[in-house]
Amino acid sequence: MYYAELLLVGLIWGCTYAMMALGLTLVYGLLRILHVAQATVFTLGAYIGLLAANYSGSLAVAFIAGAIAAGALGPLIYRFVYQPILDRPPFVALVASIGVLIAMEDGFRLLFGPYGLSFEHNTWFTTTYSFAGMTMNLVQIWMVVTAVVLLSAFAIFATRTRAGVAWRATVSDPPMAESFGISVSGVRYVNFLIASVLAGIAGVLVGLLNNLVEPGMGSVIAYKGLAIIVLGGLGSVPGTLVASLALGVVESYGTVFLDKVLDRDAIAFLFLIVVLMIRPQGLLGRR
Amino acid sequence: MQIKSGSRLLVAAALGAALVAPASAQTIKIGFHAPLTGFAAADGKSALNGAELAVEEINAAGGINGRKIELVVVDDQAKADQAVPIANKYIGEGLKIVVSGSYSGPTRAAAGVFQKAQIPYISSYAIHPDITRAGNYVFRTSFMGEVQGRAAAKFIGDIMKKKNVTLITLNNDFGQSLSAGFKEAAPKFGVKVISEYTYAMGDRQFGSIVASVKRDNPDMLYVSGYFFNGGPLVAQLRAGGIKTPILGTEGFDTHNFIKIAGPAAEGVMITTSLDRDSKSPAMRKFIDDYEKKFNTPADMVAASTNTAINVAAAAIAKAGSDDPAKIRDAIAGTKDFQVSTGKISFNDLGEIYKAAQVQVIKDGKFHHQATIDDPQLLAPPMK
């Protein structure tokens, strides 16, 4: 039972990672940019969601506000940070992205104070359900439900809709897609919009789960997100999902059984190194 | 070119001196570094508040022998690599005493520099044992981790009468020294450590530890960490259905802990040096004045920097001179001094002796639970 509970804990973590890492994979697939500043979008979503919740008293409003704020910030970062340097080598964009992350971390601190903020009425956290000796709270349940619903919606969008086909065409061959009348720039904005909305919602959920929204909450998940997309095979969406869940589970067991030797965050990178030694192309990547 | 820029500098220096001369002849400068930005900025803010309150009150009471004191504040970001340049800057500016309002990393790095320069240096709340080992010019006004861990073992064994304890330890020097002190003293009080889990500074999700505690089913939990990881940890333990009593440490000693943990904070106990129900006038005055000035309740970090500045000021007054060696001797001679963290004295290593307070959270506020005043158990090491 104990091991089953650890597995469940790991899968919940995996869902958080999946919502963050999918956006990173999308951006990487389209522009070959390692979008570290996604963590800024995640943190902004959490802050706006928290302020909306404390102001309105409604968690539904929190998710809508968080998603809108994040959905606005992501495309703005693309327009004003990445677009002017798209013709440079990819590491230029990576450095710019890290710059945004670090600057915004202290920006959040100036705006919202250094102590971090908490939800006044985090009813989802205190509502718990017990079954078979395991206890889950409503935030954890929503984390899983939201991840499954949003990621399935994305899969349907990518495979069944015209916009989704246009998006995939742009990923595989931008000039060819453009010659078929697809607006490459439009696809890029939609790409950042989807990635950012997912990150913003993940931010609100993580804020609820910790009952704490703090300036630096994005930095760990940003770098772990990079580990996940490499682990999944760069640019592979199914690989990213598998890697997210796998990492969540490895961390869940690792924090209990390897805690004397390794930090939880070190486990992520050790796992990455081991997998890359065995499968250099990533879990589901193609050679 | 050389001469010209040199003379310009001279003019600037003369102008500057003329502008500040009336004040600087009078003021006594105390160096103060704290993490005002970076991951520890929350503690940095409390640290600065506590120090500023001390300066304000000392100046309002007439200063030191008629001279005002002034803080020279620098942000160290809680990074060890920032500490040495900061220390050298203070020494270059001719400061005679410096107080650390920061964590162990930078404080430990700076301690050696100040010792070499023979400038008295007081660590407010950094707990690493090596800090005071830098030499006889370095002092500490907070409990060492080991000492606080021993107090926790006595409280759990003697007062709570609990036997089987699980430790949840923050994996840094703070958490590890608390854990070491606890495990060293536990057998004396009939306490058995049945399991220990560690976590990292950045962790906010503790699902696997919650599951493990549930399996181990201890009589009591001893949890180290800071409010930003301890708050989520305690909330998750309670949300996971664990009703075991929890003893935390002075890292939870801030109302931010209560805000984050919410209803789960009720009944959580901590070892600390600040007693909210204290009848000591100095402690009472600090708690009330702090809340009035900053509109937020006082915490352990603020009380510690407040204590350190008061120790520094009292030493300068007693030395009656700006000679660092005389100030050092005066600090070392501090005995039964009543400050915001209680009645304090230093030993030969520059470590503090004071009673340990156990506070309990009731109706969203810290209250007195027990005082552990055991000079033998709480004696800091002599070397």
On the question of pLDDT at A155 being above 80, the answer is: yes
Structural domains of chain A, count: 2
Verify whether the Cβ–Cβ distance A255 to B263 is below 8 Å: no
H-only helix segments in A37-120: 38-56, 59-77, 90-112
Q: Are residues B236 and B297 in the same domain?
A: no
Q: Are residues A156 and A238 in the same domain?
A: no
> What was the pLDDT predicted at B39?
80
Q: Tell me which residue of B70, B93, B152 sits closest to B374, measured CA to CA.
A: B152
Verify whether the Cβ–Cβ distance B45 to A126 is below 8 Å: no
Distance from CA of A200 to the nearest CA of B (A): 18
In-domain check, residue A23: no
Q: Are residues A132 and A249 in the same domain?
A: no
Q: Are residues B69 and B157 in the same domain?
A: no
> What was the pLDDT predicted at B6?
46
Q: Tell me which residue of A128, A135, A121 sits closest to A208, measured CA to CA.
A: A121
Q: Which residues of A touch B202 (CB under 8 A)?
A: 220, 264-265
In-domain check, residue B59: yes
Cβ-based interface (< 8 Å): residues of A facing B: 2, 5-6, 9-10, 12-13, 106, 109, 114-116, 118, 122, 125-126, 128, 130, 134-135, 137, 206, 209-212, 214-217, 220, 252-253, 255-256, 259-260, 263-265
B214 to chain A: closest CA residue: A2
Q: Are residues A202 and A249 in the same domain?
A: no
Q: Are residues B161 and B260 in the same domain?
A: yes
Q: Are residues A58 and A124 in the same domain?
A: yes
In-domain check, residue A13: no
Q: Are residues B155 and B136 in the same domain?
A: no
Q: Are residues B36 and B118 in the same domain?
A: yes
One digit per residue, the tens of pLDDT, for chain B of length 383 reads 444 444 554 445 444 444 444 444 578 999 999 999 888 888 999 999 999 999 999 999 999 988 999 999 999 999 999 999 999 999 999 999 999 999 988 999 999 999 999 999 999 999 888 899 999 999 999 888 889 999 999 999 999 999 999 999 998 888 998 999 999 999 999 999 999 999 988 889 999 999 999 999 999 999 999 999 999 999 999 998 899 999 999 999 988 999 999 899 999 999 998 888 888 888 999 999 999 999 999 989 999 999 999 999 999 999 988 899 999 999 998 888 888 888 888 888 888 888 899 999 999 999 999 999 888 888 887 76
A106-149 pLDDT per residue, tens: 899 989 988 889 999 888 888 888 887 788 889 999 999 999 99
More confident residue, B165 or A163: B165
Q: Are residues B64 and B200 in the same domain?
A: no
Distance from CA of A157 to the nearest CA of B (A): 32
Q: Are residues A121 and A255 in the same domain?
A: no
In-domain check, residue A285: yes
Verify whether the Cβ–Cβ distance B235 to A125 is below 8 Å: yes
In-domain check, residue A74: yes
Distance from CA of B174 to the nearest CA of A (A): 15
Distance from CA of A3 to the nearest CA of B (A): 9
> What was the pLDDT predicted at A287?
59
Q: Are residues B365 and B224 in the same domain?
A: yes
A127 to chain B: closest CA residue: B239
In-domain check, residue A21: no
> What was the pLDDT predicted at A264?
78
CA atoms within 13 A of residue A111's CA, in its CB half-sphere: 14
In-domain check, residue B381: no
How would you classify residue A222: left for phi > 0, otherwise alpha for psi between -120 and 50, otherwise beta? alpha
Interface test with A, best of B45, B205, B295 (most A CBs within 10 A): B205
B40 to chain A: closest CA residue: A114
Average pLDDT, chain A: 90
**Average pLDDT value for residue range A59-79:** 95
A117 to chain B: closest CA residue: B260
Q: Are residues A230 and A192 in the same domain?
A: no
Q: Which residues of A touch B207 (CB under 8 A)?
A: 6, 9-10, 12-13, 252
In-domain check, residue A271: yes
What is the span of the domain harbouring residue A197? 30-213
Q: Are residues B116 and B52 in the same domain?
A: yes
Q: What is the CATH number of the domain that holds B259?
A: 3.40.50.2300
Q: Are residues B218 and B101 in the same domain?
A: no
Q: Are residues B125 and B219 in the same domain?
A: no
Q: Are residues B106 and B19 in the same domain?
A: yes
Verify whether the Cβ–Cβ distance B228 to A116 is below 8 Å: yes
DSSP A113-156: -TT-B--S--HHHH-EEEETTEEEEHHHHHHHHHHHHHHHHHHH
d(CA B269, CA B265): 9
pLDDT cut 90: percent of chain A above it: 51
> What was the pLDDT predicted at A95?
94
The answer to whether the beta carbons of residues B32 and B48 sit under 8 Å apart is yes
Q: Are residues A233 and A176 in the same domain?
A: no
Q: Are residues A92 and A209 in the same domain?
A: yes
Verify whether the Cβ–Cβ distance A260 to B202 is below 8 Å: no
In-domain check, residue B222: yes
d(CA B248, CA B270): 4
Strands (E), B302-364: 337-339, 342-346, 352-353, 356-362
In-domain check, residue B236: yes
Q: Tell me which residue of A153, A217, A214, A177 sits closest to A30, measured CA to CA.
A: A177
Nearest by CB to B239, which of A125, A252, A253?
A: A125
Give the phi and the psi of residue A193 in degrees, each rounded to 5: -60, -50
Interface test with B, best of A121, A211, A258 (most B CBs within 10 A): A211
Structural domains of chain B, count: 2
In-domain check, residue B227: yes
> What was the pLDDT predicted at B317?
92
Using CA atoms of B105, B109, B111, B112 in order, give the dihedral in degrees to the nearest 10: 150
Verify whether the Cβ–Cβ distance A130 to B231 is below 8 Å: no
d(CA B323, CA A280): 64
**Average pLDDT value for residue range A160-170:** 87
Q: Which residues of A touch B39 (CB under 8 A)?
A: 216
| Of the residues A161, A181, A213, the one at which a domain ends | A213
Q: Are residues B154 and B69 in the same domain?
A: no
| Crossing angle of the two packed helices B227-239 and B207-216, in degrees rounded to 10 | 60
> What was the pLDDT predicted at B287?
93
The answer to whether the beta carbons of residues B134 and B116 sit under 8 Å apart is no
Verify whether the Cβ–Cβ distance B45 to A255 is below 8 Å: no
Q: Are residues A280 and A141 in the same domain?
A: no
Which residues, listed in sequence order, are joined to residue A131 by a DSSP beta bridge?
A: A134
Q: pLDDT-derived band of residue A247, with 50, 70 and 90 as boundaries?
A: very high
| Of the residues A194, A213, A232, the one at which a domain ends | A213
Q: pLDDT-derived band of residue A286, with 50, 70 and 90 as boundaries?
A: low
B195 to chain A: closest CA residue: A256
Q: Are residues A281 and A234 in the same domain?
A: yes
Q: Are residues A257 and A140 in the same domain?
A: no
Distance from CA of A176 to the nearest CA of B (A): 45
The per-residue b/e assignment along A126-165, b for 16 or more CB within 10 angstroms, e otherwise, is bebeeeeebbbbbbbebbbebbeebbeebeeebeeeeebe
B288 is written with which tokens? 């009330």
Distance from CA of A185 to the nearest CA of B (A): 37
Cβ-based interface (< 8 Å): residues of B facing A: 37, 39, 41-42, 44-45, 171, 197-200, 202-205, 207-212, 214-215, 228, 231-232, 235, 239-241, 256, 259-263
d(CA B123, CA B102): 8
In-domain check, residue B380: no
Q: Are residues A108 and A131 in the same domain?
A: yes
DSSP 8-class letter at B61: T
Q: Which residues of B touch A214 (CB under 8 A)?
A: 228
| Of the residues A213, A242, A265, the one at which a domain ends | A213
What is the span of the domain harbouring residue B177? 145-272+357-372
Verify whether the Cβ–Cβ distance A116 to B204 is below 8 Å: no
